[in-house]
Amino acid sequence: MSRMIKLFSLKISSSRFDVLVGQIVCWVFAIVVLLMGITKVSNMELSEAQLIFGILLVVVLTLQMIILGMILPMVDYVCQKQKENP
């Protein structure tokens, strides 16, 4: 059992690489959501108010993913500093 715990606690990659991959995933997801969301909302037969709210929701989700991608390096930096100075 302890071998299994040691196996799962091994460090495979650096935290900098993990942050970079996380940023890329967030930004790609944001672009995909924006393009697919605007396309889907514009193809629906909606009233003007419903269309505006639909586009607004798509833009809000896109901005959230962009902000998350920008915050990831700061979170990694804070975690490293907390490990150094407990």
CB neighbour list of residue 60: distance below 8 Å, 6 or more residues apart? none
What pLDDT does residue 50 have?
Answer: 93
The pLDDT tens digits along the chain (86 residues) read: 677 787 777 777 788 888 899 999 999 999 999 999 999 999 999 999 999 999 999 999 999 999 999 998 898 888 888 888 86
Residues 6+ apart with CB under 8 A from 62: 30, 31, 33, 34, 37
Q: What is the pLDDT of residue 1?
A: 66
Looking at residue 25, its pLDDT comes to: 94
Write down the pTM of the prediction.
Answer: 0.75
What is residue 13's predicted lDDT score, i.e. its pLDDT?
77
